[in-house]
Amino acid sequence: MRIPLLPVLAAQAVAVRRKATLLPEPDGPRTGCVGRGPRVRLLIAGDSSAAGVGASTQEQALSGQLVACLARHFTVEWRLEATTGHTTRDTLDRLADLDGPYDAAVTALGVNDVTRGVTQRQFQSRQSRLFDLLSNKLGVRCIVATGVPQMDRFPALPHPLAWVLGQQAARLDRGLRQAADAFPAVRHLALDFPDDPALAAADGYHPSPKAYQLWAAAAADLLRQA
């Protein structure tokens, strides 16, 4: 079904890029120590959503809101390793030189793998390598792997482009689940948010601070259960 649509999809992709609102990564610290209680060394890694694009400050982004949730129960030593545009392969390269150990990690990857044409098999393999690196090299005992977003619900994407990207995102998420199933330390976190315009940032592509709050709360719940 995709081949007859290729001219339409190509035109829509060009139009989306031309009209896109390019939001910056928010200002704020990317490492810190906060809270009281047992120590938890937390790593947050991934793409622009992990970096907090769509929020004005890191305090409003995933890192700040997740750390705030955990700091009610733990002393959180945290680090953010995330960059706009990064794929799973980019994150593997980035973390290869990182020193550990860490107790917990939250990952957010997949959208750029979708747009770069990464196959489900490739994505599953690279996610498996990422989980192995986190578990064995960095000593992480609990990994929350955020599911690949439902791209068909991104307000910035017109149909049929949104449908096609959504289908591929769903395939990659199945690969992510299969990779996670092979690692006892990994928990897959599906983000099934309601259709609320307030959950999208101004670009219609990234989460808003409200969405980051929901995401952080869900990730914190999984980490506390570990």
- Angle (nearest 5°) at CA 170 between 182 and 1: 135
Tokens of 221: 């719940």
**Strand residues in 163-206 grouped as ranges (E):** 186-189
CA distance between the termini of the chain? 43
- What domains sit in the chain, N to C, each tagged with a CATH number? 50-225 (3.40.50.1110)
- Per-residue pLDDT 10s for the chain (226 aa) are 455 677 777 777 787 777 767 899 999 999 999 999 999 999 999 999 999 999 999 999 999 999 999 999 999 999 999 999 999 999 999 999 999 999 999 999 999 999 999 999 999 999 999 999 999 999 999 999 999 999 999 999 988 999 999 999 999 999 999 999 999 999 999 988 888 999 999 999 999 999 999 999 999 999 999 8
Q: What is the pLDDT of residue 10?
A: 78
List of residues 6+ apart from 91 with CB closer than 8 A: 45, 46, 47, 81, 107, 109, 130
Q: What is the pLDDT of residue 3?
A: 59
pTM attached to this predicted model: 0.94
Tokens of 106: 């939250």
- Identify the CA nearest to 175 among candidates 212, 133, 147, 152: 147
